Every structure is written in structure tokens, then in C-alpha cells.
């Protein structure tokens, strides 16, 4: 990923935002120039990487091992393509498989990673280490700086271990693609290690669906019309489950080098990203680690009824889930009509697990179709399963955009015509939005949910994002940055896509004149006010219409802030500024 813009406001006091002289050596520019971004778009690094892999080192000596390089987006053993291929290569060569994970604190700073996401990564690494150990596969976890030298560092490790091959799943952000390209070029020059990077994150990889002109789609509906037939095509393997890795021979425990890896511990934290012990316990409850937890959450979404007791800051695996007919009564079955409701656990809550790759998107589609007794792919708007698979297709769509139009990961609006929109620089408003003190209950509930859980209901994200951009007229990139710094499911493609949709600057966006009325949205998504009362305790005893828009006297009495802006006036201002680029 490439860094998003940083505010000069003193109110933005995140440690990741303090830039020292040393930082300047690794933090990328705030926003790429339009020219530089266009140059990157002209030759997307993802295709450069695939070409380099194709022309890489061949006909190698056997070596002493094969390495699978795990990243922050493929943290699982099941249905993992790079891991499966690495295992097959190790089996073929009669050598052990070694797993590698490189912690990169500078990348986490540069990419606005949240402490919650780093903690989630480490907790899942501990689970993976134990699972791999049962297969006699050691996990070597190491931290490295500077981030610019990671390709050299990894190649040096391969030489030390006498590895013949290294396998990894592709990460589609610009920085990560350039890192892997650098490793491939170093390896090709030295001629001793073969590098293989494969598609795994998406159900349909970037480049597999294109317009008639051979370009990537920039509108979702035609993308979906091309995406679905790829999966339905005879002989398609896009939904196939990758084989589990084979166990190493137990003798690897006695190996002079690899045997020591089994005794190496996954660290409990990364400097600069540690969490208060109490908060860590809370977040661990809301988001349990491990593939087992992820698959149980998926199963509950597919097979159990929604519960109003489960929408808030609670353990998602609490007992009491009622098994129901998956087709009509389950959370999946009712997803079409209930997905925007915030007062119950109507959604899957799987976004942290998909973002970290703890469960594959392919598995989600396979299991959803099986639970719904579907023999063919369903992407219709008329069924729960069809609607949910459409959401997974949106995830693919936004990842394709990052891969094929990499300027969006360089701080640029997809639609350059909106690059000159006049934004407000009101630090007090930005801080009030972050803290959930805007005076708009549904927005404040959403932002407080983010602070409490490290997560937000998707509709809440849309409402909160559009409020920041259209009501407060604050640059969408500051909101994008804050979500990455706060949420446990931070994913550049989905986060950037969502923010640019709300800001009307991205692919297939909401038209600039489409501006959510937060009060109307509140009544639609939380009609009884349960979500608001749960996360905004000042309004815990307010009932009826007033919970959505407290009168000034009531707000003052309860110690709840009055609205920062008048929505109707803010709407007119936003439309004027988008229609007249550069004007106040």
C-alpha cells in the first residue's frame, strides 16, 4: 500500500502520524501527483510481477527446503493456494516445508495499520504456529526494518536455509507488489531461488474479467455480469478448494537449523502497536482468533437466526444461537431484506477474517451455496444467498480496482475531475466525528461502535463516511486513514472503495448529489433506536422519534452535543462545491 495523506492538525495525535527524520526515509509521499499516478496505472505492477515470476529461475538444484511466505492477508492453512503449492513442491523434492512470516513495523506505520489489526495478526499467528506444528511444519516469525530492505532480507534467509523455492500469495497494493517484484529480480540475478507468487485473495483474480476493450471494469453491474459466468463456466476451478499441506517427516524436529524454529515464540506485540491489556481482552472476546472460530461464525451466519442480543459489543460465538431453515429463516436467508438493520446481528461479521485471510472468500461461496441447497451460482438480488455473494463480488471488484488502477492506493481519487473539490480544514469537527460527538445519534453510535469494537456495521460505515464527506465537507482521505487506524478489518481495497463511493470520487460512486439524510437513514436502519441506545449512553432512556434527532433542550439536559451542522444547509454546500470544483 502507499500512504494516505496526513493532516497537519494537532488534533490528530496518533503515534503513527508523528514523522521524524528517520520516518522520512521510509514513509511515502502523502498524495502522488496525477502524472506519477497515471504512469503507474499505465503499467500495473501486478502484471509486471506475474511476468517476472513466469520468466524466473528454472531447473534448480534440490535444496534443503521449500518456503511458504505467509502475509497479513492469507493467515490460514485451509484452502490456501500458495501454501498448497509450496507443500506439493516440498513433497516432490523430498525436503521439508518451512513457513515464514515477516513482521514489518515500518509498513504498519506507513499503511496506518491499527494496533487492533496487529494484535489480531499476532493472535492468529499463534494459532497457525500450533496448527502447523501438528504437521511438523515450523513457523519462523521475524521482525525486520527497514521495510525497503525486506526483499534482500528474505532472499538472504533463503540462501541461509538453502531453500530452492519460495511461494507466496499476491498482495495487490502497490508497495507490496513492488516488494515482491524486487525479490523476484534479486533471485533471478542470483539464480539460486525460484519465486512463485499466485492469486488467492479474490474469487476471480484481477485480469480474468475485462471489458470488450480489454480493460478492467470500473462499474460494478457489468463487472458482476462478467464475473458470475466465469465461475459458472464448464471446467472453471475458481471455486475449487486448495489441498491441505502435507505433513513433514518428524525428523525435521532434529534438523540443526529448522528444528530450532519450533521453539521460537510468536511475539505478543509490536512496538508502537501495543494495546492496553483490558482493551486487548475485550477485542479478543469480540474477535476470537483462529480458523475454527472463523468457520464457526460462518456456519452460524448460514444456519442460525439473528438475535438482537448479538448486534453489539459481545462474543459472536455466545451460546444460544437457534438452528433454523438456512434458506428462509437464517441470517443468510433473510440477508436480502435485513442486511441494513443495525439492531440485530443480521450480517456475518466475517470482515476481519476475510481481510486477514483466516477464511477464504471461495469457502464462503461454496458453503453459502451448499447451505441454500443451490447447485448453481446465485447472484440475484431476490435471495439472501444471492445478495451475500454479491457482497463477496464487491470485495473482488474493489480488489481488481486496486490491482488494475493502482493510483487509488496512491492517495488519488479515481475520478480526477474531483481532485480539486474544496474541503474544510476544521480539526474540531474531524475530532468530534472520530469521538462520536457530532450531535447526530446514528453517526455517533457508528463511530463509538468503531472505538469500542474495532468494527462497524457496513451500513453504519456508509452513513458515517458520507456524513464526514458531504455534511462536514472533510477530505475523504482523512476518514479513510482513521478507519485504517481504528478498525480490525482494515483492507485498503474495500476501505478505499467504500470511502471513494461515499465521496463520489471513485468507481461506480454515489452521484455527488446523492447525500444520505442521516436522520432518515437512522429511522430505516435502527427504527426502534436500540443500536443508538446501546452505543450512545446519553440517549439510553430516550424513546420514540427523539432518539433519532433529539430536540436541543433534551440534548442539553442529557449532556448530548447539538449537531455540528444543519444537514439541509450542509447538503446545499456539498452540491455547490462538487458542481463548482474549487469554489467555496
Confidence of residue 12 (pLDDT cuts 50, 70, 90): very low
- Write down the pTM of the prediction: 0.94
For residues 391 and 410, give the distance between their C-alpha atoms in angstroms, rounded to a whole number.
25
Is 499 among the residues known to form the active site?
yes
Q: Burial, 85: exposed, middle or buried (Cβ in 10 Å; 0-12, 13-18, 19+)?
A: buried
423 assigned to active site? yes
Q: Is 433 a catalytic residue?
A: no
**Of residues 287, 499, 501, 530, which has the active-site annotation?**
499
Exactly one of 279, 296, 391, 424 is catalytic; name it.
Answer: 391
Residue 88 has pLDDT above 70, yes or no: yes
Residue 452 belongs to what H/E stretch? helix 441-453
Nearest to 354 by CA among 408, 400, 287, 410: 287
Is 476 labeled as catalytic in the residue annotation?
yes
Of the residues 476, 480, 530, 538, only one is catalytic, namely 476
Is the pLDDT at 3 greater than 80? The verdict is: no
Catalytic, out of 279, 458, 517, 546: 458
Determine if the peptide bond prior to 518 is cis (ω within 30°): no
- The answer to whether 455 is a known catalytic residue is no
Choose, from 36, 241, 423, 517, the residue flagged as catalytic: 423
Of the listed ranges 22-26, 176-180, 408-412, 535-539, the least confidently predicted one is 22-26
User: Which of 69, 161, 287, 394 is an active site residue?
Assistant: 394
CB 343 within 8 A of CB 306: no
Say what the pLDDT of residue 270 is: 97
Q: Are the C-beta atoms of residues 87 and 245 closer than 8 Å to each other?
A: yes
User: Given pLDDT bands bounded at 50, 70 and 90, which one contains residue 61?
Assistant: confident
The DSSP string of 233-298 is STT--TTPPPPPPPPPPGGGGG-TTHHHHTTPPPPS--TT----HHHHHHHHHHS--SHHHHHHHH
Separation of alpha carbons 316 and 286, rounded Å: 6
Partner residues linked to 97 by β-bridges: 66
Task: State the pLDDT at residue 60.
Answer: 86
- Whether the CB-CB separation of 204 and 377 falls below 8 Å is answered with no
436-459-434 Cα angle (round to 5): 20
CA dihedral 552, 558, 561, 562 (to 10 degrees): -10
Confidence of residue 291 (pLDDT cuts 50, 70, 90): very high
- The reported pLDDT for the residue numbered 31 is 85
- What DSSP state is assigned to residue 418? G
Q: Cell digits for 573?
A: 454546500
CB 50 within 8 A of CB 79: no
User: Stretch 290-312: mean pLDDT, rounded?
Assistant: 96
- Torsion sign over Cα 465, 468, 470, 476: negative
Q: What is the pLDDT of residues 446-498, one digit of tens each?
A: 999 999 999 999 999 999 999 999 999 999 999 999 999 999 999 999 999 99
Amino acid at each position: 500500500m502507499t500512504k494516505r495523506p496526513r493532516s497537519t492538525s494537532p488534533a490528530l495525535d496518533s503515534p503513527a502520524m508523528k514523522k521524524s527524520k528517520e520516518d522520512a526515509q521510509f514513509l511515502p509521499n502523502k498524495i502522488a501527483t496525477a502524472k506519477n499516478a497515471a504512469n503507474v496505472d499505465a503499467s500495473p505492477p501486478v502484471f509486471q510481477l506475474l511476468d517476472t515470476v513466469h520468466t524466473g529461475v528454472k531447473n534448480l538444484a534440490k535444496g534443503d527446503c521449500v518456503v511458504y511466505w505467509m502475509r497479513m492477508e492469507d493467515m490460514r492453512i485451509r484452502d490456501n493456494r500458495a501454501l498448497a503449492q509450496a507443500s506439493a513442491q516440498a513433497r516432490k523434492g523430498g525436503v521439508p516445508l518451512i513457513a515464514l512470516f515477516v513482521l514489518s513495523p515500518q509498513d504498519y506505520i506507513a499503511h496506518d495499520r491499527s494496533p487492533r489489526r496487529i494484535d489480531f495478526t499476532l493472535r492468529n499467528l499463534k494459532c497457525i504456529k500450533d496448527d502447523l506444528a501438528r504437521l511438523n511444519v515450523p513457523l519462523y516469525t521475524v521482525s525486520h526494518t527497514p521495510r525497503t530492505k525486506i526483499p534482500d532480507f528474505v532472499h538472504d534467509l533463503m540462501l541461509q536455509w538453502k531453500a530452492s523455492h519460495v511461494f507466496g500469495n499476491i498482495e495487490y497494493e502497490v508497495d507490496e507488489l513492488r516488494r515482491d517484484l524486487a525479490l523476484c529480480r534479486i533471485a533471478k540475478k542470483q539464480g539460486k531461488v525460484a519465486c512463485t507468487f499466485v492469486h488467492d485473495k479474490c474469487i476471480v483474480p484481477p485480469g480474468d474479467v475485462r471489458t470488450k476493450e480489454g480493460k478492467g471494469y470500473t462499474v460494478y453491474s457489468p463487472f458482476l455480469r462478467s464475473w458470475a459466468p466465469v465461475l459458472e463456466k464448464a471446467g472453471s476451478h475458481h471455486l475449487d478448494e486448495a489441498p491441505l499441506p502435507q505433513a513433514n517427516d518428524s525428523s525435521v524436529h532434529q534438523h540443526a537449523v529448522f528444528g530450532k524454529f519450533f521453539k521460537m515464540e510468536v511475539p505478543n506485540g509490536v512496538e508502537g502497536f501495543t494495546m492496553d491489556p483490558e482493551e486487548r481482552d475485550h477485542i479478543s472476546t469480540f474477535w476470537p482468533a483462529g480458523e475454527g472460530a472463523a468457520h464457526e461464525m460462518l456456519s452460524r451466519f448460514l444456519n442460525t437466526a439473528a438475535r438482537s442480543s448479538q448486534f453489539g459489543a459481545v462474543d459472536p460465538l455466545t451460546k444460544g444461537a437457534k438452528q433454523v431453515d438456512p434458506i428462509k429463516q437464517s441470517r443468510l436467508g433473510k440477508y436480502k431484506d435485513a442486511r441494513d438493520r443495525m439492531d440485530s446481528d443480521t450480517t456475518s461479521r466475517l470482515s476481519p477474517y476475510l481481510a486477514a485471510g483466516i477464511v477464504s472468500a471461495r469457502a464462503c461461496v461454496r458453503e453459502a451455496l451448499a447451505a441454500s441447497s443451490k447447485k448453481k451460482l446465485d447472484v440475484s438480488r431476490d435471495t439472501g444467498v444471492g445478495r451475500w455473494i454479491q457482497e463477496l463480488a464487491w470485495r473482488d471488484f474493489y480488489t481488481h480496482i486496486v490491482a488494475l488502477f493502482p493510483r487509488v492506493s496512491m492517495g488519488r481519487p479515481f475520478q480526477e475531475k474531483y481532485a480539486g473539490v474544496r474541503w474544510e480544514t476544521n480539526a474540531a469537527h474531524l475530532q468530534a466525528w472520530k469521538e462520536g460527538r457530532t450531535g447526530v445519534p446514528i453517526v455517533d453510535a457508528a463511530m463509538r461502535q468503531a472505538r469500542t469494537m474495532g468494527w462497524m456495521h457496513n451500513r453504519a460505515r456508509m452513513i458515517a463516511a458520507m456524513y464526514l464527506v458531504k455534511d462536514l465537507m472533510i477530505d475523504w482521505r482523512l476518514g479513510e486513514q482513521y478507519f485504517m487506524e481504528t478498525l480490525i478489518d482494515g483492507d485498503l481495497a474495500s476501505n478505499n472503495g467504500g470511502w471513494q463511493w461515499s465521496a463520489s470520487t471513485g468507481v461506480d460512486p454515489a452521484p455527488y448529489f446523492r447525500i444520505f439524510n442521516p436522520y432518515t437513514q437512522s429511522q430505516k436502519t435502527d427504527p426502534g433506536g436500540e443500536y443508538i441506545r446501546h452505543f450512545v449512553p446519553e440517549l439510553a432512556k430516550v424513546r420514540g422519534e427523539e432518539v433519532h434527532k433529539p430536540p436541543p433542550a433534551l440534548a442539553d439536559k442529557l449532556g448530548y452535543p447539538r449537531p455540528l451542522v444543519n444537514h439541509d444547509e450542509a447538503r446545499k454546500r456539498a452540491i455547490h462545491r462538487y458542481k463548482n470544483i474549487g469554489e467555496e
